[in-house]
Structure 1
Amino acid sequence: MLPGDSSALCHVVTHEPGRLYALGPDLARLLAPNPSPFTGEGTWVHLIGTDRLLVLDPGPVDDAHLDAIVAAVAGRPVDAILVTHTHRDHSPGAAPLAARLGAPVWGCAPLAIPGNQEAGFDPDYAPDRILADGETFAHEGRPLEAVHTPGHTSNHLCFAWGERLFSGDHVMGWSTTVVIPPDGHMGDYMASLQKLQGRPETIYHPAHGEPVEDPQRLLRGLLGHRLQRERQLQRLAAEQPGTLEALTARAYPGLDARLVRAAQATALAHLVTLEEQGRVTRVGATWKA
């Protein structure tokens, strides 16, 4: 999510956590019980397939939630538990669910940031198979492809299956994503959006929010929004150099206090990328253009 968007605090749950919602004959999802200003209604867990399943992003460790996933599987073979990235609302349930279902964990690489591990990361994630960018495997007669989309996190993967893209937190259906340095990188995030513009999938299934039925339009909007924010921060740093806190307050006037730290992280991600491009400089704690 992007702090400052009006949707950022709208996390009223209109779907029932633990209830299975069909999205087609070969796709269903259920909601984890973790609504918040940063997850919307919560994390969607996707069950991909009919006779044999893949379980995508099992979410947090919560006994009732894991029970609901097992009930939704309904005894069908699970070929793998897939993980898009290792934020705590996505990956911690993978290991206990794997033990209950007898399935391996496949997906993104583990992630550690020496000396500066963001509190939101899952340090215990240990996949049985790390999927590389472009790696494919067959699932119910169709290839499923891992698509590396760094930016939100450096290890983020999307998964393409036919006309569908399971977009994790890279492209969401309720708000834009937050990018938190040092692992999150705004330049990588924007490059990953451009990468998806060259792909053929026509519907996105994000981990938060509703399916996206016109993804190319949304991708254009996300890129435009990021470029606008980038130009704004460069202009503000030129008009009146200031600290990250001061620039963020000017860029996000009237921001809800609960979202200030996340807004500062997103602003920092933009400023770091602008610094790498030589468009702003940093002297001590002051940014100027």
Structure 2
Amino acid sequence: MAESPPGIPQPLEPLVTRVLARNASPYTHTGTQSFVVGGSGAVAIIDPGPVDDVHLDALLAAVGDRKVAAILCTHTHRDHSPAAKPLAERTGAPIIGCAPLTMDDEGPRADAAFDIDYRPDRVLADGEAVAGDGWTLVAVATPGHTSNHLAFALPESGALFSGDHVMGWSTTIVSPPDGDMGDYMASLDKLLGREDRVYYPAHGDQVDNPRRLVRGMLGHRKQREGQIARAIERGTHDIPAMVAVMYVGLHPKLLGAAERSVLAHLIDMERRGIVRREGATWQRM
């Protein structure tokens, strides 16, 4: 199903409505997708997005005269969680979901800096839930993109709100020091073992065959690891040179993200005894 324009509520199924924020970029695709979950009674809002009064008004218009029972955040990059605070002030709803995380991020995407003002009223651990009128949202810990990333399962319909862990348009950025490739791969394996009917990601179209996509993402990352290993064997030992070989034709604005991804792979390979670091260069073990 194609996305509606920013600010226009788009019903996806009886319990789910999508509202697109106005923050399109090379790293957010068409923007952050917020979700209103619920029927005629109280609702939850997932990933309220960046602070933007127009987007907040659109979310509240989608809610209408229903009560907002909970505001949930998958993680605390600032294209996802900052609007939680003003939304809570306007609705009185508690902020529930991922743990707070504040750190310096040397990654390439300015929109993904961490939200230093995020203060949840309740943090959900893996398997914990929040429920409302005819809906339940169960936390599924999916670290990797960030260490505090959660997805939310809606057992009433078989949907999973996958945040940035699995997106509908691109693989996610895994940017050290907080992003962790080993955790990301383990979280993909975890999702592969589930039987969710559909994913609603924070960026891009809904995913109607989620297990097939997850298998493809696992295969893609394993292929990247193989490319890195072969590049080192052929004498390419620093990250910019690896990216030049592996990402031919990549848009210059995305080079930084590619370098962070390769670094994440190398750190994971180092932990597993495949490569070793020598200053700014990498060698096979």
TM-score, normalised by the number of residues in structure 1: 0.92
> Mind listing any 5+ residue stretches in structure 2 that lack a counterpart?
none
Instruction: Give 1:24's match in structure 2, choosing from 13, 32, 49.
Output: 13
Query: Mapping of 1:65-84 within 5 angstroms?
Result: 65-84=55-74
Structure 1 residues not aligned, in runs of 5+: 1-12
Separation in structure 2 between the aligned mates of residue 260 and residue 74 of structure 1, nearest angstrom: 43
Q: Which position in structure 2 is the counterpart of 1:132?
A: 125
Contact 1:83 1:106 in 2 (8 A): yes
Residue 43 of structure 2 is aligned with which of 32, 48, 53? 53
* Structure 2 counterpart of 1:96: 86
CA distance in 1, matches of 2:172, 2:189: 15
1:66-119: CA deviations, max 9, x gaps?
A: 111111111211110000000111000000011001101001000123x65765
Report Cα offsets for 1:40-65 as digits up to 9, x if no partner: 11011100001210000000001111
Cα distance in 1 for partners of 2:3, 2:101 equals: 33
Instruction: Determine the C-alpha separation between the residues in 1 that align with 2:203 and 2:63.
Output: 21
- Given that residues 3 and 205 in structure 2 are in contact (C-alpha distance below 8 angstroms), is that contact kept between their aligned partners in structure 1? no
Structure 1 CA distance, aligned partners of 2:70 and 2:179?
Answer: 27
Counterparts of 1:192 and 1:260 in 2: how far apart (Å)?
Answer: 25
Counterparts in 2 of 1:1-289, with a 5 A limit? Answer: 15-50=4-39, 51-113=41-103, 120-162=113-155, 163-289=158-284
Q: Percent sequence identity over matched residues?
A: 56
For the Cα contact (< 8 Å) 1:241–1:288, is it kept in 2? no
| Preserved contact between residue 38 and residue 135 of structure 2 (Cα < 8 Å) | no
Query: Which deviates further from its counterpart, 46-55 or 136-145?
Result: 136-145
AA paired with 2:264?
Answer: A
Q: How many residues align?
A: 276
Deviation at 1:14, TM superposition (A): 6.2
Q: Which amino acid aligns with 1:223?
A: L
* TM-score, normalised relative to structure 2: 0.93
Judged with a 3 Å threshold, the aligned counterparts in structure 2 of structure 1 residues 264 and 70 are, in CA distance, closer, same or farther, namely same
- RMSD between aligned alpha carbons? 1.4
AA paired with 1:161? L
Aligned partners of 1:134, 1:221: CA distance in 2, in Å?
A: 26
User: Any conservation in 1 of the 2:126–2:139 contact (CA below 8 Å)?
Assistant: yes
